Amino acid sequence: ILTSCGVDKTLIFHEYRDSKNFVQYSLEIDKTSKYLSLDINHENNIIVLGQEKKLQFWSLEDGKLKNLIETKDEDKLTGKTQILDNLRVVVDSSGSYIAISNNDKIVRIRDFNTGNLVAKANCGDITTSLAFTQNSKELITVTAKGCIYIWKLSKEIKGAIEKKKQQLGVLA
């Protein structure tokens, strides 16, 4: 499925059927928010939208909002909570985790189902692109200055992704 978000904030989906056919359908979403990034989970049934201060999870089957997570991070030293703009989002191949680049130059990995923060890395610059590797061992980030970082995922994250992929019968 190819996805895009129009200027009118309508999500447009193009499903590839064969070499001559694309099926197009759209989903009207909250038109009061600014959408910065989107990704679809492994089962192609939930789209994750990165917005200014939250993540939205929409069903592609019925077009309804399934979950909403306000993205915030608490500074353990000061106790202050910071609400974050989500510049880019990407879901791992098992649908277990979401990596999010934020305007504070930190990439955060959150649990897909709960939104709980499980890891973070300071890239030192705004991250313009990110991707989980197919083997689920690293997260690759690219910054605005063109630096490419390859981050090793923790054993816990790798293990959870591999376990879920085995349950789903996903290869690689």
Task: Read off the pLDDT band of 9 (50, 70, 90).
Answer: low
Contact by Cβ (8 Å): 91, 55: no
pLDDT for 44 equals 66
Alpha-carbon distance 163 to 94, whole Å?
A: 9
User: What one-letter code names the amino acid at 91?
Assistant: V
Query: Is 171's pLDDT higher than 90?
Result: no
Alpha-carbon distance 20 to 37, whole Å?
A: 28
Percent of the chain exceeding pLDDT 90 equals 33
Mention every residue, 6+ apart, whose C-beta is less than 8 A from residue 18. none
Residues 82-110: tens digit of each pLDDT: 777 788 899 998 889 999 998 889 999 99
Candidates 37, 148, 14, 41; CA nearest to 102 is 37
Q: What is the mean pLDDT of the chain?
A: 82
Contact by Cβ (8 Å): 108, 98: no
What pTM was computed for the model?
Answer: 0.80
Q: How far is CA 12 from CA 2, 27, 45, 50, 63, in A?
A: 8, 7, 14, 16, 12
Tokens of residue 96, six digits: 């277990």
Percent of the chain exceeding pLDDT 70 equals 82
